[in-house]
């Protein structure tokens, strides 16, 4: 696989496929914050799924600049070992990528940074969608949704479970209040989430990577 388009910038990461079938950062270049080690990185199939759902929020005011600033984009450079890859930062767009890309959240701290701004933005848009779609007695607020999501994150933290960035994003994009449901397609939104298989993605990556078929990325 050609990597010349992945050489726009010098930052690189070594990532590995965890037991949870998510990709995590193992190591990174000196110019990348040391805080990214053990941080989840969003894989190509997850990026595709996330981008599709985000695009459906454009009618509610999706800001492309907020999305762009929230992630550093990486393309595959080479295989390090089986189930471990070296990826290099690239100038690409999650909505129309030239290559199979990984997205690393741009986190400056636990409570700030572009990724947190992105999450706040997506919560606000999801609330707009739900208020426009469901018949609430009182309009749903972003604060109510954030309280529920925070409680869920705390429960996973207490149980010792790592929260991957993709799970955190999907918790927002799939959120529906208890007692309500969205059936079928509403404005093109697929409510039933489909498991994204590896089949069909192989052609986009270097065949020499030879990743296991049962793992989704």
Domain range annotation of the chain: 4-183
- Residues in the chain, how many? 217
- More confident site: 121 or 36: 121
This model's pTM is above 0.75: yes
Whether 193 shows a pLDDT value over 50: the answer reads: no
Average pLDDT over every residue of 39-43: 95
Q: What is the predicted pLDDT for the residue at 22?
A: 96
Cβ neighbours of residue 123 under 8 Å, at least 6 residues apart?
Answer: 142, 145, 146, 149, 172
Distance CA 162, CA 169 (A): 14
Q: Locate 116 and state its tokens.
A: 């947190």
Whether 157 shows a pLDDT value over 90: the answer reads: no
Range scoring the smallest mean pLDDT among 53-57, 109-113, 147-151, 194-198: 194-198
Average pLDDT over every residue of 152-171: 90
């Amino acid at each position: 696989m050609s990597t010349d388009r992945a050489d726009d910038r010098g930052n690189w990461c070594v990532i590995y496929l965890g037991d949870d079938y998510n990709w995590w950062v193992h190591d990174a270049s000196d110019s990348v914050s040391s805080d990214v080690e053990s941080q989840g990185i969003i894989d190509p199939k997850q990026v595709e799924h996330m981008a599709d759902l985000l695009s459906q929020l454009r009618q509610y005011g999706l800001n492309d600049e907020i999305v762009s600033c929230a992630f550093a984009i990486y393309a595959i450079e080479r295989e390090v070992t089986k189930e471990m890859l070296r990826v290099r930062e690239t100038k690409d767009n999650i909505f129309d990528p030239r290559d199979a890309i990984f997205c690393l959240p741009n986190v400056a701290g636990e409570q700030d940074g572009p990724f947190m701004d992105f999450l706040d933005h997506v919560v606000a848009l999801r609330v707009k969608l739900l208020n426009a779609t469901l018949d609430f007695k009182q309009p749903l607020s972003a604060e109510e949704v954030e309280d529920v999501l925070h409680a869920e994150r705390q429960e996973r933290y207490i149980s010792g479970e790592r929260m991957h960035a993709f799970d955190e994003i999907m918790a927002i994009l799939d959120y529906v209040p208890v007692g309500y449901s969205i059936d079928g397609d509403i404005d093109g939104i697929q409510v039933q989430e489909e498991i994204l298989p590896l089949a069909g993605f192989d052609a986009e990556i270097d065949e020499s990577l030879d990743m296991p078929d049962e793992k989704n990325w």
